[in-house]
Amino acid sequence: MGKTIGTNRAPATDPTALGRTFKQRLRDGDILLGGMIMDIVRVPIVKLYRNAGFDFIYMDNEHVHMAGLPHMADFVLAARDNQMPIIAKVPELTRIEAGRLLEAGVCGIQLPRTETREQLRTLYDYMQFPPVGSRAGAPIYGNVDYSWPKDDQQWIENANESLLLVAHIETRAAYENIDEIVSTPGVDMVYVGPYDFSISMGQPGDYDHPDVAQGIQRVLDACLEHKVPFGTTASGPEAAARWIDRGTQFFEVVDELSLIARGAAETVDAYRKAVESA
């Protein structure tokens, strides 16, 4: 009787489906919650965020050396394997920095200190394959889940459709140019970074101060006018509910450092109270 050789080869999948599904959820009006990564680029956090129910992960790749960490690509790959789209802040507006994030497999790039339409046009060009843009082809990394596309033309078209460009509003210059920014072709999402925005409005750290809230509302109104999904980081769930009622669609909710700090402090306080009452 003849023997057969089994195979454990994974079935071919569409590596652009994750980003295109995320885009469709935005179009459908879903409220999307993102878990933030500020410093600890470790695979277990992907699982923790997935288990918690976050819809996507936002990586702050501006303030620490995430791009230089060997395990950043592992983190992105783990997120993809767990159906968690990643939106990553690019550390600076250069082709090489955008390319590294895209080849790692992120679904979106967020441009810090967005202030002009020209900046967004430049990033869009870096993110899109020809003939739309000038992105270089590199179909063997995390962006294709390490499986060479069977149909290169279809993959390029799908990849162009799957990526999200996020304008990050955090300065007065951006605020003054908001209509130009929001109406830029190719912008998929607009995010107000409330901490730096509050500084620019003269109220550092006070996300709910009338000057800050009115400024954020002005950005939201522009997004609603141009039908571009708007998001921010609210001061808490009650503030988030108010922003949702006004039309906010996504939140970069909380980062891992804050969660650890809060959880650690609450646990220690609970034990100290138990000791004091014993």
Q: Long-range contact list for 138-142, CB < 8 A, 24+ apart?
A: 138/99, 138/103, 141/73, 141/103, 141/104, 141/105, 142/73, 142/76, 142/77, 142/80, 142/103, 142/104, 142/105
Predicted local distance difference test score (pLDDT) of residue 65: 66
User: What total of structural domains would you count in the chain?
Assistant: 1
Nearest in space to 15 (alpha carbons), one of 129, 147, 161: 147
Q: How far is CA 96 from CA 90, 123, 136, 176, 227, in A?
A: 10, 11, 10, 29, 31
**List of residues 6+ apart from 96 with CB closer than 8 A:** none
Determine, yes or no, domain membership for 5.
Answer: no
> Does 37 reside within a domain?
yes
pTM, to two decimals: 0.93
The verdict on residue 268 lying in a domain is yes
Which range of residues forms the domain containing residue 255?
17-277
CATH number at residue 38: 3.20.20.60
Helix (H, G, I), strand (E, B) or coil at 97: helix
Mean pLDDT for back-to-back runs of 10 residues, the chain (278 residues): 67 88 96 96 95 97 71 92 96 93 96 97 98 93 92 95 98 96 97 96 94 96 98 96 97 97 97 93
In terms of Cβ atoms closer than 10 Å to its own Cβ (0-12, 13-18, 19+), residue 212 is buried
Q: Return the pLDDT at 61.
A: 87
Q: Is 10 part of a structural domain of the chain?
A: no
Q: Would 115 be classed as within a structural domain?
A: yes
Residue 2 resides in a domain: no
pLDDT at 68: 59
Residue 6 lies in a domain: no
Q: Let me know: does 41 contact 47? Beta carbons within 8 Å.
A: no
User: Residue 10's pLDDT is what?
Assistant: 66
Q: Which of 17, 278, 274 is nearest to 145 (CA)?
A: 17
- Domain annotation covers residue 169: yes
